[in-house]
Structure 1
Amino acid sequence: MEAFAVPDVPEIRAGDDLAAIVEERVDLRPDDVVVVASTVVSKAEGRTADLDAFPAGPRAVEIADRLESATGDEKDPRFAQAVLEESTELLMDEPFLLTETRFGHVNVNAGIDRSNVPGADLLLLPKRPSESAARIREGLASEAPIVVTDTCGRPFRHGQRGVAIGWAGMPASRDWRGEADRDGHELEVTVQSVVDELAAAANLIAGEGDGGTPIVVIRDWSFGDHEGSDELFRSVESDFVRQALRKWDYED
């Protein structure tokens, strides 16, 4: 497998054609996978905003005050309002905001970015990242699969890693259930989230900060002869951590 960054990607602005930008720079093959950072997808879709677009309601003011008390850092209630409006559920409201986005992804602050946003205060995640991926794929002559990524932390570990939040042209997961391991034992629970693994591999190439490159091509990787699944985000009924968080209170 080979992974390489798409070179010389310009600063993306609202209305830019990401598919055209990729095809101008790379001779894509049909079995390539194009991995695109959500930041540039959001910019192309005009998902920038100013804090003044989110006048704080009573709940946002209460959340900001509580966060400020818990962390000692000043919190802007307009940012809390933006997080509330971009979320379907607030799983934790101190010492940080853990949310579920409208498309099912659980992350901090609804994935709202406050860096690398020229001319605006906030960069919101794409509204429906899998639909965004499908639109980019439709613009490619090769119709290569697309994975849209974000970076987020993991419980029990330091640091962030790339994860998939949208995809098109391939299943999200390889389903190994029913196949045998090396000792001939039948696999009963193994479902491999390949879109997350491709996102993490691409993030190693893309990097972070001002030297980051937002689009990566994965080449000579094959899904293989496996059943596929598009399940990525756990349902509430099967997510025991979320169920526990709903009953949890923070104590400083």
Structure 2
Amino acid sequence: MITELHVRGLAGVPEVQEGDDLARVLADAVHASGTALSDGDVLVVTSKIVSKAEGRSRRMDREDAITAETERVVARAGHTRIVQTRQGLVMAAAGVDASNIDPGTVLLLPEDSDASARALRAGLRERLGVNVGVVVSDTFGRPWRIGQTDVAIGAAGLRPLEDLRGTPDNSGQIMEATVNAVADEVAGAGELVKGKTAGIPVAVVGGLAEMVTEEDGPGAAALVRPADADLFRYGSRDVVPARRTVRSFADTPVDPALVRKAVASAVTAPAPHHTTPWRFVLVESPEVRERLLDSMLEAWVADLRADGFTEEQITRRTRRGDVLRAAPCLVVPFLVADGAHPYPDARRADAERTMFHVAMGAGVQNLLVALAMEGLGSAWISSTMFCADVVRKVLDLPEDWQPMGSVGADRPPREADDFVVVR
């Protein structure tokens, strides 16, 4: 157990230039400081000097640089963008820095901060003969908290995480969720002595020998939460645009629990007269699925032949149905308008039907957006609407269930069970 730390800034680090051997620069600063590094120390190095040495400065507009470094926009407010960078980090402005550098120039994050940390560690070992850990740090804002703090975006020779799950706490209770982000904690400690304006880009943290390893280790990449475990992967402004129609699917199974959670979101849609007109048939049986798609294809071909299409034209048109065959998951939404008012005149009867169709469309859109939030690609295909009798027969459903297309998905609260039928 770590009971004491010593943190000091490494003074005397000169202005770093493109092409500098950063390990040599820091080794020289250690010699000049008169205080040697020891085995088990950890150097916290601001990413800025790593980027400078690696030639990551660019003559370009800052906003253009942010766009170029962005893999995905998570959220935006005015000119502020929270993005996922090409390196997989979620942060403000893609880490693009325009402070304390030449006007018109921006500084990008290191291309691979873990690789940078490994190279710097190896260089320091070669020059100083010590086994130290290296953390490359950058400044992050945090959800729910005011202010910024430094975190690790690269690491080598340091266990980045301390997993305490399965161990007892002081009262004997088994911890189930505690994983300490050691590398981030070290980065924050280093920032206390580096500061933003002190001109000290490197801190030395002593007392962590039990966390420093002979191997480089997994690096700071281990701190990046996987997309499927990230409850806040999408910002609120990006929820609806996250839905995209997918035309090709992976062949990996889809977790049925995720689909049911998406259905639970679907049935929060508005509906007329306090009704619940949505039903979602999850076609989980391979045999039922095959029979449904074969029967729909047969009906489609019969319609096309009756319309005078040639066999070649029919083959070309029906090829579009392959999208549903390729999807690992198939959901067929149905409209059940059992709460509709029976108006005697055509005008109001038409309006009543339209109302229910609008509600059903909202439910389907909710389903598609919710699937996207669960990391599932989807495609809404209208084909079931053209052969409603066939669909009802294969799925053994009542005559008043009206199919409203079908949804293929390739990969999570009103309960969904009341609205789900499984065949």
How far has the Cα of 1:221 moved from its partner?
A: 2.0
Once residues 43 and 240 of structure 1 are traced to their aligned partners in structure 2, the CA distance between those partners, rounded to angstroms, is: 35
Bigger Rg, which one: 2
Residue type of the partner of 1:232?
Answer: L
Q: Say whether the 8 Å CA contact 1:175–1:229 is kept in structure 2.
A: no
**Is the counterpart of residue 140 in structure 1 residue 124 in structure 2?**
yes
Which stretch of structure 1 is more off in the superposition, 235-244 or 146-155?
235-244
Q: 1:156 maps to which residue? A: 144
The verdict on how the C-alpha distance between 1:248 and 1:6 changes in structure 2, with shifts beyond 3 A counting, is: farther
After superposition, the C-alpha distances for 1:120-147 in whole angstroms (9 at most, x for unaligned) are 5101110110000011011012131100
Question: Greater RCO between the two (CA within 8 Å, min separation 6)?
Answer: 1
In 1: Cα distance, 2:96 partner to 2:193 partner: 23
Shift of 1:90: 1.2
SS at match of 2:233: helix
| Contact 2:115/2:154, CA 8 A, preserved across alignment | yes
1:94 to 73, 77, 92: 77
Deviation at 1:103, TM superposition (A): 1.7
Asked if 1:12 corresponds to 2:55, the answer is no
Q: Matched residue pairs, number?
A: 220
Alpha-carbon shift at residue 224 of structure 1 (Å): 5.5
Alignment equivalent of 2:204, drawn from 217, 220, 228: 217
Question: 1:193 — aligned with what?
Answer: 181
- In structure 2, the residue corresponding to 1:200 is in which secondary structure? helix
CA distance in structure 1 between the aligned counterparts of 2:12 and 2:123, rounded to whole angstroms? 19
> How big is the shift at 1:5?
0.8
Q: Which residue of structure 2 aligns with residue 208 of structure 1?
A: 196
Query: Greater shift after overlay, 192-201 or 14-23?
Result: 14-23
Q: CA deviation at 1:7?
A: 1.1
Q: Do the aligned residues in 2 keep the contact of 1:84 with 1:90 (CA within 8 Å)?
A: no
Aligned to 1:40: 49
Residue 97 of structure 2 corresponds to 113
Q: Which residue matches 1:233?
A: 224
What CA distance in whole angstroms lies between the structure 1 residues aligned with 2:207 and 2:183?
Answer: 15
Judged with a 3 Å threshold, the aligned counterparts in structure 2 of structure 1 residues 244 and 91 are, in CA distance, closer, same or farther, namely: closer
Counterpart of 1:247 in structure 2 is 239
* 1:182 CA displacement: 0.2
The aligned counterpart of 1:165 is 153
Q: Distance in 2 between matches of 1:13 and 1:119?
A: 16
- In structure 1, distance between residues paired with 2:102 and 2:15: 9
Kindly tell me: are residues 23 and 126 of structure 1, through their superposed partners in 2, closer, same or farther at Cα, counting changes over 3 Å?
A: same
- CA deviation vs aligned residue, 1:221-251 (integer Å, no higher than 9, x gap): 24469xx9762011111111114543169xx
Q: Where does structure 2 lack aligned partners over 5 or more consecutive residues?
A: 31-35, 242-423
With the length of structure 1 as denominator, give the TM-score of the two structures.
Answer: 0.81
**Partner of 1:188: helix, strand, or coil?**
coil
Letter in 1 for 2:89: H
1:185-232 CA deviation, whole Å, 9 max, x = no partner?
1111100000000000000100012x231001001124469xx97620
Distance 2:199 2:29 in 1: 17
Relative to 1, partners in 2 of residues 1:90 and 1:243: Cα closer, same or farther, differing over 3 Å? Answer: closer
Instruction: Report if the CA contact (8 A) 1:7-1:25 is conserved.
Output: yes
- The Cα shift of 1:25 comes to 2.8
Q: Is the 8 A contact 1:98 1:109 kept in 2?
A: yes
Deviations 1:40-85 (A, max 9, x none): 000011111111xxxxxxxxxxxxxxxxxxxxxxxxxx43321121
Amino acid at match of 1:34: L
| Rounded Cα–Cα distance in structure 1 between residues aligned with 2:228 and 2:210 | 29
Give the drift of 1:116.
Answer: 1.3
Instruction: Please list every run of 5 or more consecutive structure 1 residues that lacks an aligned counterpart in the other structure.
Output: 52-77
Q: Distance in 2 between matches of 1:97 and 1:163?
A: 19
Bigger proportion of residues as helix: 2
For the 8 Å contact 2:75–2:234, the answer to whether it is kept is no
2:113 paired residue among 115, 119, 129: 129
Which of 7, 12, 17 is the aligned partner of 1:3? 7
Q: Percent identity?
A: 37
